[in-house]
Each structure stands twice: as C-alpha cells, then as structure tokens.
C-alpha cells in the first residue's frame, strides 16, 4: 500500500534537517574571515552579519527547544511568547557581545604588547 502522508512527512522532515544545516552553514561561512583577523584585513560587515545571524538562530533554537514542551501543555499567549523569544535573543546577544568584547580586548592588548616590543 502507498501512504502519501507518511512520504510527505518524511520528505518534510528531511527538508527541515537540510534547511537547518544550510542555515548554520551560511553562518559558518560568514564567520570564516575571523580566522585571518590577526594576519590581515577582514570584512567586518560579513563577520557582523554572521554574528547577527548566529544570535538570531541560536535564540530561536533555544526558544524552540526549551519552550516547545511548555507551549504544548500551556495556554497560548502571543505576547508572552514574543517577550520570551525577545528575552532569549537579548541574553544570547549579551553573551556574544561580552565574548566579542573580551576577544577585542585580548587582540588590543596583544597588539599593544607587540608594538612595545618593537620600539
């Protein structure tokens, strides 16, 4: 027997997995210039876009994975869901901002010590 609903569900699942891998692949591709930030110039717009997409995708992933079971059992409130997602994205943005700040501080101190050694 042919079950078209089963095939459609299986194809949809495979497509969603490919979509997730593609999204994170684009984020990785956007963040690749960070590797050569110490040796040459980098495209900061590309890196900024990668960081922005990372924040958005990570927030959405965290929201879906943590609150998915809660959403199924609780009553739906769009305002509460929106505020929860904005809060999670804000927390992830804050964490990424702190990490970027400390990396920038490390690079600045490294370059400052390299300049003091050459003088």
Q: Identify the pLDDT of residue 63.
A: 74
The predicted structure's pLDDT at residue 22: 93
Report how far residue 76's alpha carbon sits from residue 8's, in angstroms, rounded to the nearest whole number: 28
> Is 92 within 8 Å of 50 (Cβ atoms)?
no
**Non-local CB neighbours of 24 within 8 Å, separated by 6+ positions:** 57
pLDDT by position in tens, the chain (length 119): 455 555 567 788 888 889 889 999 999 999 888 887 767 777 888 888 888 888 888 878 877 777 766 666 666 677 877 888 788 888 888 888 888 888 888 888 877 877 777 66
- Alpha carbon distance 35, 4 (integer Å): 47
Global pTM value: 0.57
- Name residue, tokens 């569900």: 9
**Domains in the chain: boundaries:** 4-118
């Amino acid at each position: 027997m042919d079950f078209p609903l089963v095939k459609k569900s299986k194809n949809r699942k495979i497509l969603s997995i490919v979509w997730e891998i593609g999204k994170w692949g684009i984020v990785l591709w956007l963040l690749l210039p960070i590797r050569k930030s110490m040796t040459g110039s980098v495209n900061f717009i590309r890196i900024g876009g990668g960081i922005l997409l990372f924040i958005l995708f990570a927030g959405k992933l965290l929201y879906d994975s943590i609150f998915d079971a809660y959403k199924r059992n609780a009553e739906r409130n769009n305002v509460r869901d929106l505020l929860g997602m904005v809060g999670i994205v804000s927390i992830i943005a804050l964490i990424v901002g702190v990490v970027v700040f400390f990396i920038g501080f490390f690079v600045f101190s490294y370059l400052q010590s390299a300049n003091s050694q050459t003088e």
